[in-house]
């Protein structure tokens, strides 16, 4: 890999450069952004939408590359072209995971695209936890890392609660307003370095649940729909054509499993690698420690969800592991790996048997863990109702929504049949 010639993000740049970040999960990223700003980075999230983004992507990225890469790169280049920013005073930030999936190449594809578009001088910052690329102007301090982690935790809980309240709210907009309020509140905490350690999270998380439980709702029967998929398409409204909103508009209660599971999964993969293929003991110990800490926090979320109201609690990572055991090997780790299948199983068990599996067209891991497992899951759960939806520059919204509607029609019928069963017994 040729990394010597890349443009470094220097300490000087930190002073007056604007850092552009593509959006993925609204709530989580909104929090992450504030943390960055507090640490002195002039950062901005890109909320842009529209066909131009896809067109820019198509221009600068190989058209058969995954849709997320195409969109993220399209969005960033579109922003540089917009005239809103001075390209000579702008840096781009992109996450980098590593692993056997094509996704590990996003950052390199981005650099190639920048060069092609004449922006080869724009520095690209890699946000990763593996120490892949280093920049003197952008250092992940432990204090920042801890805040990042707590952003994910708060984000997961807020997203979970929002999705269980919003479809039933009596006063339209109340849930969204509460989400906003909590984001502001959390940022205020962060500013004074509060709210990020284990004990304050333990205290604050239930308060969030309390507030959401207090939103007046009308608990009608709604179709419960789970959303799983490739991580970017699953969360990003830009990629999935506002899937959550669409489902809510169709009278559904969506459930999108959070980001924590993915963090767990990626950490656990390293342990699993050592188990399956051998490896260093030290690495094993570090990872084990990390798992232990994450499990503790996870417990906080679970008990916080239970603290007030009657919310469906998120699955623990341990439970997901148990679920997948008879179906797939733990070694399946590229992309979302076995976690995606496990999330589907967990959703089904939790009453969200109607599932949209969102993936970029031609996504390699999804051939295995998404589409490849639908048949098996139907064998185990005959009532499950899973629809894989492909997202790519050519797919139209009409087509996607039509397929989702079919899934919903079957869901409604299943719901009716169950009502009758209940009534008879």
Partner 1 sequence: MNIGLDVGSTTLKCVAVDDCGEIVYKNYQRHFSQIASKSAQMLGDIIENHPEFASSGIAVSGSAGMGFAQELGLPFVQEVYASRIAVKKLLPDTDAVIELGGEDAKILFFTGGTEVRMNGSCAGGTGAFIDQMASLLGVGVEDMNALAEQSGKTYTIASRCGVFAKSDIQPLLNQGARKSDVAASIFKAVVNQTVAGLSQGREIKGNVVYLGGPLSFLPELRKSFDETLGLTGICPENSLYYVAIGAAFSPDSEKMSIKEIIDKIGSYESSAGYISCAPLFENEAQYREFTGRHAKDTVKTVDTIKPGEKLFLGIDAGSTTIKCAVINENREIVFQKYMSNSGNPVTAVRDFLTEFYEKNGDVKITSSAVTGYGEEIIRNAFGIDTGIVETIAHYTAAKHFRSDVDFIIDIGGQDIKCFKIRNGAIDNIFLNEACSSGCGSFLQTFAAAWDYNIADFAKLGLFADRPVDLGSRCTVFMNSSVKQAQKDGASIENISAGLSISVVKNALYKVIRASGADDLGQNIVVQGGTFLNDAVLRAFEKEIGRDVIRPDISGLMGAYGAAIYSMEHIKGESTCITREELKNFTHEVKAITCNGCPNHCRLTVNTFGNGKRFIGGNRCSKPVSGANGKETYNLYDYKKELLSKYKPVPGKRGKIGIPMGLNMYELLPFWHTFFTSLGFEVVTSPESTRDLYLLGQHTIPSDTVCYPAKLMHGHIEYLINEGIGNIFYPCMTYNIDEGLGDNNYNCPVVAYYPEVIRSNVRSDELNLIWDYVGIHRRKDFTPRIRAIISRRLGVVSAREIKSAVKAAYKEYDEYMSLIRAKGDEYLALAKEKNLPVIVLCGRPYHLDSEVNHGIDKLICECGAVLVTEDSISNKMSKFATNVLDQWTYQSRLYAAAKYIADSGDNMINLVQLVSFGCGTDAITTDEVRSILESKNRIYTQIKIDEITNLGAVKIRLRSLFAALEQE
Give the interface size with partner 1 as a residue count (CB under 8 A): 77
Closer to partner 1 at the Cβ: 266 or 333? 333
| 101 is a contact residue toward partner 1 (CB under 8 A) | yes
Q: In three state form, how does the secondary structure of 378-414 look?
A: HHHCCCCEEEEEEECCCCCHHHHHHHHHHHHHHHHHH
φ/ψ of residue 353, rounded to 5: -75, -10
Q: Tally Cβ neighbours within 10 Å of residue 181.
A: 11
157: left (phi over 0), alpha (psi -120 to 50) or beta: alpha
Binding mask 2-31 for partner 1 (x = CB under 8 A): xxx---------------------------
Cβ of residue 137: shortest distance to partner 1, in angstroms? 23
Question: Near partner 1 by CB under 8 A, which window of 84-92, 107-115, 173-181, 245-253?
Answer: 107-115
| 195 is a contact residue toward partner 1 (CB under 8 A) | no
Q: Which of 40, 83, 142, 278 binds partner 1 (CB under 8 A)?
A: 278
Closer to partner 1 at the Cβ: 100 or 216? 100
Closer to partner 1 at the Cβ: 212 or 338? 338
Q: What's the residue count for the chain?
A: 425
Q: Which of 117, 122, 201, 344 binds partner 1 (CB under 8 A)?
A: 117
Cβ of residue 118: shortest distance to partner 1, in angstroms? 10
Q: Which of 14, 28, 34, 111 binds partner 1 (CB under 8 A)?
A: 111
Cβ of residue 9: shortest distance to partner 1, in angstroms? 19
Task: Name beta bridge partners: 386.
Answer: 355
For residue 350, give the nearest of 309, 316, 315, 382 by alpha carbon.
315
Q: Is the dihedral of CA 95, 321, 147, 286 positive or negative?
A: negative
Closer to partner 1 at the Cβ: 142 or 382? 382
Binding mask 234-253 for partner 1 (x = CB under 8 A): --------------------
* Rounded distance between C-alpha atoms, residue 75 and residue 337, angstroms: 27
Contact 164, 132 (CB under 8 A): no
* Rounded distance between C-alpha atoms, residue 273 and residue 285, angstroms: 13
- In the region spanning residues 332 to 391, those forming contacts with partner 1, defined by CB under 8 A, are 332-335, 361-369, 371-376, 378, 382, 388-390
- In the region spanning residues 396 to 425, those forming contacts with partner 1, defined by CB under 8 A, are 396, 398-399, 401-403, 405-406, 408-410, 413
| 177 is a contact residue toward partner 1 (CB under 8 A) | no
Cβ of residue 58: shortest distance to partner 1, in angstroms? 5
Closer to partner 1 at the Cβ: 253 or 390? 390
Quickly list DSSP for 63-120: TTS-HHHHHHHHHHHHHHHTSSS-GGGEEEEEE---SSSGGGGHHHHHHHHHHHTT-T
- In the region spanning residues 63 to 92, those forming contacts with partner 1, defined by CB under 8 A, are 63-66
Residue 249: alpha-carbon gap to chain centroid:
21
């Amino acid at each position: 890999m040729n990394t010597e010639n890349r443009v470094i993000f220097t300490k000087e740049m930190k002073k007056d450069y604007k850092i552009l970040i593509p959006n993925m999960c609204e709530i989580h990223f909104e929090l992450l952004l504030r943390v960055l700003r507090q640490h002195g980075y002039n950062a901005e999230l890109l909320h842009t939408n529209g066909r131009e983004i896809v067109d820019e992507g198509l221009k600068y990225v190989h058209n058969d590359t995954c849709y997320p890469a195409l969109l993220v790169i399209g969005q960033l280049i579109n922003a540089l072209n917009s005239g809103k920013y001075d390209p000579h005073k702008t840096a781009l930030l992109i996450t980098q995971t590593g692993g056997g999936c094509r996704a590990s190449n996003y950052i390199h594809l981005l650099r190639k695209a920048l060069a092609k578009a004449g922006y080869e001088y724009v520095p690209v910052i890699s946000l990763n936890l593996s120490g892949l690329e280093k920049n003197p102007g952008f250092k992940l301090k432990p204090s920042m890392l801890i805040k990042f982690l707590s952003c994910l935790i708060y984000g997961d809980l807020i997203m979970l609660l929002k999705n269980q309240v919003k479809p039933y709210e009596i006063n339209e907009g109340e849930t969204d307003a509460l989400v906003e309020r909590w984001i502001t509140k959390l940022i205020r905490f962060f500013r004074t370095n509060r709210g990020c350690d284990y004990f304050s999270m333990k205290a604050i998380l239930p308060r969030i649940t309390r507030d959401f439980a207090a939103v007046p709702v009308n608990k009608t029967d709604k179709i419960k729909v789970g959303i799983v998929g490739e991580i970017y398409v699953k969360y990003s409204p830009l990629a999935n054509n506002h899937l959550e909103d669409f489902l809510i508009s169709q009278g559904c209660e969506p459930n999108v499993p959070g980001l924590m599971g993915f963090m767990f999964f990626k950490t656990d993969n390293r342990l699993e690698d050592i188990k399956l293929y051998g490896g260093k003991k030290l690495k094993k110990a570090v990872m084990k420690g990390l798992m232990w800490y994450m499990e503790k926090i996870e417990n906080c979320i679970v008990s916080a969800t239970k603290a007030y109201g009657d919310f469906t609690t998120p699955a623990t990572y341990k439970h997901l592991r148990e679920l997948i055991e008879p179906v797939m090997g733990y070694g399946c780790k590229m992309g979302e790996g076995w976690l995606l299948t496990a999330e589907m199983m967990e959703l089904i068990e939790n009453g969200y048997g109607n599932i949209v599996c969102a993936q970029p067209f031609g996504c390699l891991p999804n051939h295995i863990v998404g589409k490849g497992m639908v048949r098996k899951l139907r064998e185990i759960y005959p009532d499950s109702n899973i629809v894989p939806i492909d997202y790519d520059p050519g797919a139209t919204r009409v087509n996607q929504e039509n397929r989702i509607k079919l899934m919903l029609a079957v869901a409604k019928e299943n719901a009716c049949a169950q009502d009758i069963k209940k009534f008879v017994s």
